[in-house]
Amino acid sequence: MKKIISLLLIAGLVACNNPSINEKKLQSRLDSLEIKLNNTYKPGLGEFMSSIQVHHAKLWFAGQNKNWDLADFEIKEIKEALDNINKYCTDRPEVKALGMINLSIDSTSNAIKHKDPVEFKNSFTALTNTCYNCHQETNHGFNVLKIPDNPPFSNQDFKSEKKK
């Protein structure tokens, strides 16, 4: 019985210590995962900018209606999109210019915190102009920004939440 157990232990150790079999299996799995990772969807700069455009418009109408909770939500969504651009679009040279918008974002956030319509309008105008300046600096001046005049969605009420 001791001989059988010893033989099984020796066979198990030999099998576990055969690096060529284990290394090949691990390398194959690694190669497969790298292929899957390389084929995983990664949003491009255009997708992020389109979402920023929607949030920019919604931010304006929230501020105009003094819906400060919605305005705060929208400015945070813009910040998140900008963070994601910095994370996922590192291959794009335009990303280097994004820092120019930080002061305008902070100013708009402060206006929202202060719940000040005049401060909001001024900071939002500066935000819009800074975005367009970034477009010009990165050779996207053909994409002209302005303060929205129509809500982006007809199925959203931008007024503050109605009390029940």
Q: What is the DSSP string of 74-124?
A: HHHHHHHHHHHHHHH-TT-GGGGGGGGGHHHHHHHHHHHHHT-HHHHHHHH
Q: What is the mean pLDDT of residues 77-82?
A: 97
Q: What is the mean pLDDT of residues 112-128?
A: 97
Banded model confidence at residue 73, pLDDT cuts 50, 70, 90: very high
Q: What is the mean pLDDT of residues 109-136?
A: 96
Q: What is the mean pLDDT of residues 118-142?
A: 95
Domain architecture of the chain: domains with CATH: 45-137 (1.20.120.290)
